[in-house]
Amino acid sequence: MKLDAPGDPHLTYCTNIHPGETWAEVRSNLERHVLAVKARVAPDQPFGVGLRLSAEAAERLAEPKELDAFLEFLQVHQLYVFTINGFPYGPFHGQPVKERVYLPDWLDPERLRYTDRLATLLAALLPDGMEGTVSTVPGAFAPRVGGEADEARMAEMIVRHAATLHRIREETGKRIALALEPEPCCHLETSVDAVVFWERHLLAPAAVRVLSTQTGMERGTSEAFLREHLGVCLDACHLATEWEEPGDALDRFRRAGIRVPKVQLSAGLEAGIAGPEDPRLDALEAFADPVYLHQVVERRGNRRLVRYLDLPEALRRARTQPEGAREWRIHFHVPLFQERLGPFTNTQRWLGELLGLLRQESEMPHLEVETYTWDVLPERFRGEDVVDAIARELRWVMGRLEKPPG
């Protein structure tokens, strides 16, 4: 929905919170959950949909009959699609996902084909005059990238997608931006990593030359197109987990001329650990589920950061290596409004600071609440219906963004 706030932002939530891999399941989720959320937060105005489509669902939706039926559904119910989560390609709920969530990555032509299809679908769904965004994996899981050659290959794939975005814009007039989403333990892990990748590869002369050759644009126009159509999806949980400051990250992107067309509003988990006998270690076991990676970034007194791929690994280390007090931030998307979860807190303060900075922007990025880990959240912290929880999260954001009366 479009908010009455500085920068005229569009706010939604990501439907990857609802299990569903086939198009039939996704469509059912929209009918069952999205309409219920809209009735709670935007009953009398159009409501934007943050669509998540697996490769299987995207292929089915691309069939003309299905696409026409979906467009009619959107019109009837005052819904519009302006952003797609193109991060998880395959199954995302109910089975171990872990590091497989990044596959196929931008080393694999299948990631390019999938993302091209998502952009084409979004162009068909996007209202006239509105920019669309597709968020995607941060290049690849870090161990998959062997060096400069792999980085160059990923950049080439992404630039080839930019050529698709150019074709879409020429044919339809629709502007769509691809937004790479830095995440702990990935090739693009921090805002610094993203800037380096842009400067060395996505904006390098070789990338500009490839786009110019594929589209017929002049070199200068090609570089401007890359800056406009390739950007960062800033996930608040991810960068908070990395102990980055929101203002520093935004300034770093701004100085490098990198757009942030999409922000995922999410909160991670914070825990202070006193030592190997700290009872909070036992309490954290409830968050160590078998489905998702929950990367941990540990900060010690000297501000040195230590990273763990998953929460069980961090717990084992903390119990066997008495290294004194340390602070943990954990990649576990917890409800935005739930500042305390037993003996732990979330990164709500970080998110609040980010929203305050975004309020000062003349043009606001797309805003998407993303709490996909609802199904694996310890039961004591999800006592309410998921629709009610999503509505609470959206209202929490709206209360910090909308213009004050008068």
Give 101-142 as a DSSP string. GG-S-TTSHHHHHHHHHHHHHHHHHSPTT--EEEEE--SSBG
User: Residue 301: its pLDDT value, please?
Assistant: 75
How far apart CA 342 and CA 378 sit, in angstroms, is 11
For position 404, what pLDDT does the model report?
56
Yes or no: say if 318 and 273 are a contact pair by the CB < 8 Å rule.
yes
pLDDT, residue 303, reads 74
Domain annotation covers residue 333: no
Residues 6+ apart with CB under 8 A from 207: 155, 156, 159, 201, 226
Q: Are 140 and 184 in contact (CB under 8 A)?
A: no
pLDDT for 7 equals: 84
List, run by run, the mean pLDDT of 10-residue segments along the chain (406 residues): 88 98 98 98 97 98 98 98 98 96 98 98 97 98 97 98 98 98 98 98 97 97 98 98 98 98 98 94 97 96 88 96 87 97 97 96 94 96 95 96 63
Whether 201 maps to a domain, the answer reads: yes
Report the DSSP beta bridge partners of residue 132: 176
Which CATH number covers residue 151?
Answer: 3.20.20.150
Pairing of strands 340-341, 344-346: antiparallel
Task: Verify cis geometry, omega within 30 degrees of 0, for the bond prior to 88.
Answer: no
* Distance, CA of 375 to CA of 273 (rounded, Å): 26
Name which of 97, 85, 13 is nearest 54 in CA terms: 85
Strand ranges inside 141-214, DSSP E: 176-180
In-domain check, residue 342: no
Tell me the DSSP string of 233-253.
Answer: EEEHHHHHHTT--HHHHHHHH
How far apart are the C-alpha atoms of 215 and 213, rounded to whole Å? 6
Farthest CA pair distance, the chain: 64
Give bridge partners of residue 85 from the DSSP assignment.
52, 135
* Any domain includes 250: yes
Neighbouring C-beta atoms of residue 25, cutoff 10 Å: 15
* Token pair in block for residue 2: 């479009």
> Which helix (DSSP H) or strand (DSSP E) does residue 259 occupy?
strand 259-265
**Structural domain includes residue 153:** yes
Question: Is residue 288 one of the residues assigned to a domain?
Answer: no
Contact between 368 and 9 (Cβ < 8 Å): no
> Is 157 a domain residue?
yes
Q: What's the pLDDT score for residue 405?
A: 46
Name the token pair of 16: 């990857």
Which residue reads 């489509």 in tokens?
Answer: 53
Q: Are 329 and 269 in contact (CB under 8 A)?
A: yes
Of 351, 328, 331, the residue nearest 97 (C-alpha): 331
Q: How many domains does the chain fold into?
A: 1
Does residue 29 sit within a domain?
yes
Find the domain containing 394 and state its range.
11-267+347-401
Q: How far apart are CA 13 and CA 236, in angstroms?
A: 14
